[in-house]
Structure 1
Amino acid sequence: MADLIFWRHAEAEDVSASGRDTDRALTKRGRKDAARMAKWLSDYLPAVTVVLCSPAQRCRETAAALSALNQAPVKIEEFLSVDSSAERIARELASKYSAKTVLIVGHQPNLGLLITKLLGMHQSAGVVKKGSVWWLRQRLVGNDATYYVHTVRQPDS
């Protein structure tokens, strides 16, 4: 993978009308923050970026803000669901999307766990705030890939 970009869904309602966690929609502030971050992303994303999204409503709405700006297709991936694990996500990314720039719209704690794993940090250090983007860039040293933080952006910055 060239770059891995992690975008945590924006602020969502506490409870959905159905009572299911996966049906929680973005709040008014969440929609505003998603639009702000989508604008920033659309200005900086490489032309060929694979956009992957959790099937949860709040993630789909967050990703839709970007798709509305640049018509980037969004692929819903079950392995990014609320019930998934960081290990499963890492495996799926490595097997299906290696050598590609990938934007992942997903959830805590998995995003934070993946980021800390890739950066070689202590697992408890990985907090990704709602609506924020962590952009990691890959560096190849011989045959080994390492990652570093390219940028971190929050909706209110």
Structure 2
Amino acid sequence: MDLILWRHAEAEEGSNDLARELTRKGQQQAGLMAAWLRLRLPRDFQLLASEARRSQQTAAFLSKNYRVLPEINPDATVESVLKASHWPDARHPIVLVGHQPYMGMIASQLIGGEAQMWNVKKGGVWWISQRVRHGIAQNSLKLVLNPGMLTASDD
């Protein structure tokens, strides 16, 4: 199974966390990453977004067909996010548009075996793959990509 952790792109400041929208730079970040992902994802991927406006706006750059799950809201736990994404038993690759700090904690847990405060940059993608070999599940990091790596200049 593939789990693609995609942190929402840059968002405006605001007191209502779920209502915060993408900035112009965030829209550019999401558009660039979505274009890159679209060329590489299999057709049968599932796209999940939190109830936060910035998460849904980021997801919409990739597809209008995404599921909104409160279980992956900004205050979610690693356990609730993994359960909501059906890790590692999902039948299709999952693209999860979510938030720090749980994105970095999921990456560290799946790659290193322990949840730590790793930083997933705004608009960045961490692509994690699991395979079972000789009855043993093995997680591997396929890719770390940040929006600034997709452009000639990093504003």
Superposition TM-score, scaled by structure 2 size: 0.89
Judged with a 3 Å threshold, the aligned counterparts in structure 2 of structure 1 residues 97 and 123 are, in CA distance, closer, same or farther, namely: closer
2:101 match? 109
Conserved 8 A contact 1:118-1:146: no
Q: Does 1:9 align with 2:8?
A: yes
Q: Does 1:86 align with 2:56?
A: no
1:43 match? 39
Q: Does 1:21 align with 2:20?
A: no
Q: What are the equivalent positions in structure 2 for 1:115-126 lying under 5 Å apart? A: 115-124=107-116, 126=118
Q: Does 1:66 align with 2:62?
A: yes
Give the deviation of 1:139 after TM superposition.
2.0
For structure 1, which segment, 116-125 or 104-113, has the greater mean C-alpha deviation from structure 2 after superposition?
116-125
Identity %: 36
Judged with a 3 Å threshold, the aligned counterparts in structure 2 of structure 1 residues 21 and 150 are, in CA distance, closer, same or farther, namely: same
Q: CA RMSD in A?
A: 1.7
1:57-109 superposed Cα distances (whole Å, 9 cap, x missing partner): 00000001111xxx5x1011111111211111122333796232100000001
**Number of equivalent positions:** 149
Give the aligned residue type for 2:103.
L
Superposition TM-score, scaled by structure 1 size: 0.88
